[in-house]
Chains A and B, each alone.
Chain A
Amino acid sequence: MDEASSCVSGAVSADVDRVHEHAVVGGCVFRARGLTKIYTMGEVEVPALRGIDLELAAGELVVLLGPSGSGKSTLLNILGGLDTPTSGEVWYLDHQLTGATEQDLTRFRREHVGFVFQFYNLIPSLTARENVAAVTEIAESPMRPEEALRMVGLGERLDHFPAQMSGGEQQRVAIARAIAKNPAVLLCDEPTGALDSQTGVVVLEALEKVNQTLGTLTVLITHNAGIADMANRVIRLSDGHIVDIRTNATKKAARELSW
């Protein structure tokens, strides 16, 4: 981990020469070098990532911005251990994810990663509390499900089933479920994609609160530029390349956002 300590200052790839004015706390959580991903669809090869170098530090709130097909979901999936790159390396702390077995990746997700999906993906047969408990039961040092739900403002709806909740509420349950195991990293794929802006803001507030109080590295995918203002850093992707990394001089609070 020779570069871990230099994660913040050296977080920027060589081709993007910028100085971070607001240094983000913590050491390097993810480090990727020369990541490429090529999907073979029938006889056509579709490159999704074409050489990504990236470092993500603990405690950061990072927005991955880009149009559809830019490669942001592929990148997130590789970071989350759901997909493997065609070439290149990914490190999580001192563990190399590339080349890890399916079992290792499952354990990695189980112990360190929280996921929030665009369509919530709650278990319909379990209540809010039980959806969270499903994950805390297999985690090493989780918080109590009630605590996680209170953090996202759902302390009153513990025993409701998904079918009895609104979309925004369901997504907040999903966030509670993702953070309850105290993960090192929270990966959110278009968490507001299925919500209206008012509800979306409530969900983002929950993510913001988690990021600030728990210091969880939060990576958030969106194609909605308006959301980018709440990030420490905004990484813009296009066509499988990182085209721009911007550090927000002043972060906006989630409730100030609108789109």
Chain B
Amino acid sequence: MTPLEAAIVGVLGLNAMVTIALTAMGEVIAERSGVVNIGLEGILLASAWLAVYADIATGSWLAGYLAGLAMGAALGLMHAAIAVYARGDQIIAGVGLNLAAAGGTTLGIRAVWGNYGQSPPVASRPPAFDVLGVRVSYMVPLTFLVAILAWWLLERTEWGLRVKAVGDDPRSADALGISVERTRLAATVLGAALAGVAGAYMSIDYLGSFVKLMSAGRGFIALAAVAFSGWDVLGALLGSIVFGLGDALSTYYTTIRGSSAAAYPYRTIPYILTLLAVSATAWRARMPRALGRPYKRE
């Protein structure tokens, strides 16, 4: 690999990082409040689909992003209703969301675009700039900005303190006058809305169309990045860069070198890193203590 090729792989990695990073940082916020959402894969798909639909229908990429955001927030609201208010099983709700989105968007391709595989290219693609001849979305720098904002929100505001309180000890939080339900609802919706933006980026920005099941596990990779991060937004960003680079390296080997055999190890390395990180006991101690557990007052 020449230095130029390495630099190009780096840029490709940053493009690939955005979807995972936004999703993972959103999930860090939700999980710090005690709500786990394994339906991220479904949110990515559903919002990616709706973003393309809105983009083509209105001819505006901004409408596409807003549609993705709205879809994410709506699905987050649904998940919160089940997990927080109905005190349902969060894993099962998430699995349901993934299955429904996979089926729903596939059906949506057929219903709207008349084929079984993909949408036409979007009518309007968000503006971007060139680095070394590679198209780079403005979402790349924006993702770093979101990371700083999310970190500030969690670590430097009273709202962040409330989120951590309800995620670690909802009974005490209740006694401190914090509404466990409302705080969890807000964190879950905010987290899912970020995943919605990530889904929109993936379809209208990163690829330029919607392809059947195009999220290809990125929602789960984001969950891995959350665990890798030790429930910290900046760690999640770092993890996402590692995953993005793994993605870019494997793309480099398949498309530039034409060797798919070498591609797989590079895709695997991030997972091995995650496994190692997560299996360290010191790491598990950082998990929000009431993660996945509904709060019941009486």
Asked if chains A and B come from one complex, the reply is: no
